[in-house]
Amino acid sequence: MTRIELPLYTPQHIPNGSERAHILTSKGEVVVELFGLETPKTVGSFIELAKAGFYEQLKFHGKKDGSVVVGGCPITRGLGPAQVHAAVRGVLHGIHPGTGNAGYRIEDEREGNPRNQHREGSLVLAHGSDPNSGSSQFYFSLAEQPEFDDAYTVFGQVVEGMDVVHKLNIGDVITSITVENANES
């Protein structure tokens, strides 16, 4: 079987370093300081996707208590919460949350990034086993996890709503993501 390799993407949006994402979920709002100066490609892509409405109505599709809660997979868009649960358990055949993307991949930006530390509330670009394979999926770190610092790009930190992050579960909805201080580029 031939493997399709997605192109590496360079976002048009150039972050200014003062952006904050407001992630409205079915459990409440989470505000995240984005690390645009340290991770310009990751943050630029995230802002472009948010502005395009890409994340609207996507569901969180992964959770490991004390570790991470994962969202951003477009495969979940047309599914209800119970369907996401069923798909994650493998009951809905042919539907695989966690395998979708934005049609491109982003270059890893963890090396040399002094803010690339998995702390409680870190916003991190999820990816597959290959380097530079992140796209649209992200996770919130639910605890300090330094063992992941050399493996994933941390591109933000929760500044409000950590209680909401801990309440998120598989099937919860991302209603919208808006970004303040994102100058047009």
pLDDT in tens, 72-89: 999 999 999 999 989 999
Which residue do the tokens 């995230």 mark? 46
Would you tell me how many other CB atoms lie within 10 Å of the CB of residue 114?
7
Given a cut of 90, whether residue 2 has pLDDT beyond it is no
Would you tell me how many other CB atoms lie within 10 Å of the CB of residue 69?
22
How many angstroms separate the CA atoms of 49 and 59, rounded?
15
Q: Give me the phi and psi of 41, to 5 degrees please.
A: -75, -45
Is 0.85 topped by the overall pTM? yes
Angle formed at CA 61 by CA 59 and CA 64, multiple of 5 degrees:
135
- Region 123-133: mean pLDDT is 94
Which residue do the tokens 């770190």 mark? 141
Amino acid making up residue 51: K
What is the CATH code of the structural domain delimited by 20-180? 2.40.100.10
DSSP letters for 128-163? -SSTT-B-S-EEEESS--GGGTTTSEEEEEEEE-HH
pLDDT at residue 138, as a whole number: 98
pLDDT in tens, 137-147: 999 999 999 99
In the chain, domain spans: 20-180
- Region 93-113: mean pLDDT is 93
pLDDT at residue 5, as a whole number: 83
- Give the tokens for residue 13: 């949006």
Read off the DSSP letter of residue 4: P
pLDDT in tens, 29-57: 999 999 999 999 999 999 999 999 999 99
Given a cut of 60, whether residue 185 has pLDDT beyond it is no
